[in-house]
C-alpha cells in the first residue's frame, strides 16, 4: 500500500486550527446563533457601493482576478501616499502572514510574540518550523520594550505585535511603536498587525518611513470595511521586501469579486465615516451592558470589547458557555490572566439587545456552577 511521505516537520505537528469557526459551532450545537458577536466581524456590513460593485462583478467571475491587483494597489498607494510597489495584496492578513513567515523563517529560527496574542501567526510560525518565544502582556497591553529585549536575547528574525491589540482591544501609542522600531535588533523584522487601525485614535498610528526595511505593516478589509468573507488584505513595507512576495505568493489567490469590493469600499469615504460612528456607538453600548451587570469593559480601539468578568478563566469560560446556550456567540482570550475576560464584537442593536437580556442569567448560572 502506498502512502504520502509527509515532511518530518508536518508529521511532528498536531492536527489543529487557530480558531473554531461559528459555523462549526452551530453544527455541533444543532442550531444557529441568534447573536453572532464572537468572530470580530463587522456586523453592520460593507458599504452599499461595495456590495453593488461585487454584484456587478459576479457575472465576470468566470475570469481569474487580476493577479497583480493593480487597480486596488494604485488606490491604496494614493490613499496612503506611498508607491504601489511598496504594497502587496493577499488573501486577508492571515494569507499574508503565511507568506511572510515562509519568506523569513526556517526550522529553528526564533520568533518573538506575546502569550495570548493572535494565534494564526503562531500557527504559521510552527508550520514552518520556527521557535516561538512568548512574553506576558503588561497589564492588558502588549509590551513593546519587553518584546525588543527578548528578540535581542534570542536572535529573533521576526517580532509580532498587533496595534490595536487582539484579543484585548487595547493600543500602544504610535510613539511607543516608533521607539520599538528604532530599537529593532540587526536582521530582525517587526510584523506590525494593524487590522483594527481604522478604528483607533490618531495617537495609535506610528509614523514609519515608506522605505524602512525594519517593519512590515499588515492591513485588512475584514474589520472596518466589513469584507471578512471576501478574504482580502494588504501589507505595506519597503519595496525590496514587498518584491520578495512575488517569489512565493498565490498570484491568483485574490478573486476579482473581492478586488472590486475592496476598491469600492476604500472609495466610499462617507460610509467609512458612518461606520466609525456605528462601531463607536456599539462599543459604548457593550460597555453599558457590562456596567449594568457589575462588570468592567476594557477600553477598546477595535470593533470589539473585552469585558472583565472579575474572576478567573474558569468562570469566564462558564459565562461563555451559558451565553451560547442562550444563542449568543462570543469568544474569550485563551491565556491567563487575559482569560478573565470575554470578548464581544460590535454589532447591530438587535443583537446587543439579545446580549443584554442573556448576560445577567449567564453570569448567575456560571457562578452557581463553580
Distance CA 348, CA 276 (A): 13
Helices 349-369 and 313-325, packing angle to 10 deg: 130
State pLDDT tens for residues 270-304. Answer: 999 999 999 999 999 999 999 999 999 999 999 99
| Long-range CB contacts (within 8 A, 24+) of 12-16 | 13/126, 13/127, 16/123
| pLDDT value of residue 3 | 85
DSSP labels for 7-39?
A: -HHHHHS----S---HHHHHHHHTS--SEE-SS
Q: How many CB atoms lie within 10 A of CB 70?
A: 12
The DSSP element (H or E) to which 281 belongs, if any, is helix 269-292
Sheet holding 341-345, edge to edge: 296-297, 304-308, 341-345
DSSP labels for 56-91?
A: HHHTTTTSPPPTT-HHHHHHHHHHHTS-GGGEEEES
| pLDDT value of residue 161 | 98
Determine the 3-state secondary structure of 251 from DSSP.
Answer: coil
pLDDT band at 19 (very low <50, low <70, confident <90, very high): confident
- In the chain, the largest separation of any two C-alpha atoms, in whole Å, equals 64
Rounded to the nearest 5 degrees, what angle is found at the Cα of 64, between the Cα atoms of 60 and 65? 85
DSSP H helices, 67-221, are: 70-80, 92-104, 119-127, 144-154, 174-182
State pLDDT tens for residues 149-159. Answer: 999 999 999 99
- Model's pTM, two decimal places? 0.97
Please provide residue 197's backbone torsions phi and psi, each rounded to the nearest 5 degrees: -65, -30
State pLDDT tens for residues 202-243. Answer: 999 999 999 999 999 999 999 999 999 999 999 999 999 999
| pLDDT value of residue 41 | 97
Distance CA 35, CA 192 (A): 31
Q: Set out the domains of the chain in order of their start, with CATH numbers.
A: 16-45+270-369 (3.90.1150.10), 50-267 (3.40.640.10)
| pLDDT value of residue 16 | 86
Distance CA 6, CA 263 (A): 40
Determine the 3-state secondary structure of 341 from DSSP.
Answer: strand
Please provide residue 329's backbone torsions phi and psi, each rounded to the nearest 5 degrees: -95, 115
| pLDDT value of residue 185 | 97
Start-to-end CA distance of the chain, whole Å, equals 52
Determine the 3-state secondary structure of 306 from DSSP.
Answer: strand
Query: Whose CA is closest to 323, among 332, 311, 335?
Result: 332
Q: Is the pLDDT of residue 1 over 80?
A: no
Q: Is the pLDDT of residue 132 over 90?
A: yes
Distance CA 336, CA 340 (A): 7
Amino acid at each position: 500500500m502506498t502512502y504520502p511521505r509527509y515532511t518530518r516537520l508536518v508529521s511532528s505537528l498536531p492536527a489543529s486550527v487557530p480558531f473554531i469557526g461559528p459555523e462549526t459551532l452551530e453544527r455541533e450545537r444543532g442550531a444557529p446563533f441568534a447573536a453572532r458577536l464572537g468572530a470580530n466581524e463587522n456586523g453592520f456590513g460593507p458599504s452599499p457601493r461595495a456590495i453593488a460593485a461585487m454584484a456587478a462583478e459576479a457575472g465576470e467571475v468566470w475570469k481569474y482576478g487580476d493577479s497583480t491587483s493593480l487597480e486596488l494597489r494604485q488606490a491604496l498607494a494614493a490613499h496612503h501616499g506611498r508607491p504601489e510597489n511598496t504594497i502587496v495584496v493577499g488573501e486577508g492578513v492571515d494569507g499574508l502572514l503565511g507568506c511572510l513567515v515562509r519568506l523569513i523563517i526556517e526550522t529553528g529560527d526564533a520568533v518573538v510574540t506575546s502569550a495570548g496574542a493572535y494565534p494564526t501567526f503562531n500557527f504559521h510560525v510552527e508550520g514552518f518550523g520556527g521557535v516561538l518565544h512568548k512574553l506576558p502582556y503588561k497589564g492588558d497591553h502588549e509590551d513593546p520594550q519587553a518584546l525588543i529585549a527578548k528578540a535581542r536575547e534570542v536572535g529573533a528574525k521576526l517580532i509580532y505585535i498587533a496595534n490595536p491589540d487582539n484579543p484585548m482591544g487595547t493600543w500602544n501609542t504610535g510613539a511607543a511603536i516608533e521607539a520599538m522600531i528604532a530599537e529593532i535588533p540587526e536582521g530582525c523584522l517587526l510584523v506590525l498587525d494593524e487590522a483594527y487601525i481604522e478604528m483607533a485614535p490618531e495617537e495609535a498610528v506610528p509614523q514609519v518611513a515608506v522605505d524602512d526595511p525594519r517593519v512590515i505593516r499588515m492591513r485588512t478589509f475584514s474589520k472596518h470595511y466589513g469584507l471578512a468573507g471576501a478574504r482580502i488584505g494588504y501589507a505595506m513595507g519597503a519595496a525590496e521586501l514587498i518584491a520578495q512576495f512575488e517569489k512565493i505568493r498565490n498570484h491568483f489567490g485574490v478573486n476579482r469579486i473581492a478586488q472590486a469590493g475592496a476598491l469600492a469600499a476604500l472609495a466610499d469615504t462617507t460610509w467609512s465615516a458612518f461606520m466609525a460612528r456605528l462601531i463607536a456607538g456599539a462599543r459604548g453600548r457593550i460597555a453599558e451592558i457590562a456596567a449594568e451587570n457589575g462588570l468592567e469593559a476594557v477600553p477598546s480601539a477595535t470593533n470589539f470589547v473585552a469585558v472583565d468578568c472579575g474572576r478567573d478563566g474558569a468562570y469566564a469560560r462558564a459565562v461563555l458557555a451559558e451565553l451560547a446556550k442562550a444563542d449568543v456567540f462570543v469568544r474569550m482570550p485563551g491565556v491567563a490572566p487575559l482569560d478573565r475576560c470575554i470578548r464581544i464584537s460590535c454589532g447591530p442593536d438587535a443583537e446587543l439587545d439579545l446580549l443584554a437580556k442573556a448576560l445577567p442569567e449567564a453570569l448567575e448560572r456560571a457562578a452557581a456552577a463553580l
